[in-house]
Structure 1
Amino acid sequence: MCTDPRDRSTRGRQNGHARHHSGHHHGLGAFRRRHHHRLPHHRLRSRAPAGARGVRARGRLRRSGGGVGGPLQVHTVERRGRGTSGPQGDAYSAAAECADIEAVRAATGARFVFGHSFGGFLTLEAASAGSAFERIAVYEPGVSVDGSIPFDWAGRCRRELDAGKPAEAFLTFVRGVNPGTSGKAPRWLLRLILPLALKKPERLQKHALLPAAIREHAEIAARDSTFREYGRLDRPVLLMAGKEARSTGAGRAAAAVHEVLPGSRLLLPRLDHFGPETDPAAVAPALADFFLGSSAG
């Protein structure tokens, strides 16, 4: 989420509630692990519900070519079940996440929002529910179009977690969410590949997040093929999809939403699904130009 640092009232709230913090975040806010400005992190104690307390200022976002209209302060949100935020809870829902987003927007004065993957799904849901962001950007939002994001893997994944087999549950997840790509690889092969592709701390973190991922995908499945409702959005929307835009459900979602939003813009950077995390500098200029465009105020 972005605010103009020249806005003194917003800056005052930041300074009044800032604490140094080094936790991780997920889904909302493009610049997760790295940012080219590398400014110190700090935490904002917002008035968000107990599920989502962690908000951090992450740096400043400038236009490509150093154009006028910037910079913007970037805040990142630690969603429910991540970082210093509380657990998802038994009453978890996408609506609860959207309420968190709106609470953070109100606490920070953010005017713009960027969401990636499931965070992109929540960004569109929050905007559709009336959250007052002026401009919206999403990268490969986790929106299911005619079953494009499967959920039939979840039962087996739960059983494997209950049996104390998180590594097997993660295999089920990896194969299940992308049946057209990783789903084609046999389990024995993925057992060999994953330890090489992901270091042990990262694998353990992903194992720990599997229960949350199941709940999140259940929310996506419950909203399958409702993306046409986003056509009611009356503000500028930037949709981004990477090089797998035609081969994955999240990649195809950006084009599907673009079709129901004639005034939206669609960009196709040559990145994979994790591009905003692994190469934020490749995404940041497009975001800055969109958020700081002449019609953005």
Structure 2
Amino acid sequence: MTTEPASPGELAEALENTGYLADDGVATAAFLAMRMRRPLLCEGEPGTGKTSLASALAEALGLSLIRLQCHEGIDAEQALYEWDYPRQLLHLRALEATADGPVDPDIAERSLYTRRFLLARPLLRALTESPCVLLVDEIDRADDEFEAFLLQLLDENAVSIPEFGEIRASTPPIVLLTSNRTREVHDALKRRCLYHWLVHPDVAREVAILRRRLPGLSEKLATQVASAVHRLRELDLLKPPGVAESLDWASALRALNSVELDAANAELTLGAVAKYREDADRIRAAGLTSLLAG
């Protein structure tokens, strides 16, 4: 798209053109985040489409996607920038080799801290390359210090680099943060964001997703897979299957030329939907035949 959507419905249509079928809640939350220039914090179970929303949004708007994958111990240097020390060292040696006399320390220092030697990490890239979509994925995996650092950047859309100066986004990026709720995100961050809790799609929407993402998949097989996955989510599994697992299961069945889902081919392809041995055992204990029969 060349222009910003004028309504949630228009945004939902643009997302659908990328293959992402957003419900009214998701489309409205994303639209308001864009219109109000506020970050959007998406929480929900794994597999509900939080990360793929950012990808679809970038594609729908014709913007680049910049992703920061959070993890335990991530710090500002990994997320924001670092200096290219090897190139700086080579630069110093070149200065010394070409100088007629002693190199002025002040001049040498100023020449080291320029854009030429600045390695931009995802957050800095988002500021300098905006307009773009910035995905801060799994913010709940980062520690409190990083979350506090992120607050200032989200507030000001700018960062100050001691050796270089301030870098400010001319256009604020569209920011999506995701959390699987392995820990609670602090209230200070939530106050700066719009919030949306994503749920697994209902059977009808999941059937539509399967048939959209897997062209040629029959409605019968898509309905059987979506219905079975919904019943699996009601079991006490370590990892309830998400839409990605539904797609894997349907793809596996299609690769085996199956025209329907039955107990025999469900057993053969169970590894596409159950990713823990304990979950597979629970599914078998519940009875594949009764599970598929609903």
Range class of TM-score, shorter chain: under 0.3
Higher helix proportion: 2
Give the TM-score normalised by structure 2.
Answer: 0.21
Give the TM-score normalised by structure 1.
Answer: 0.21
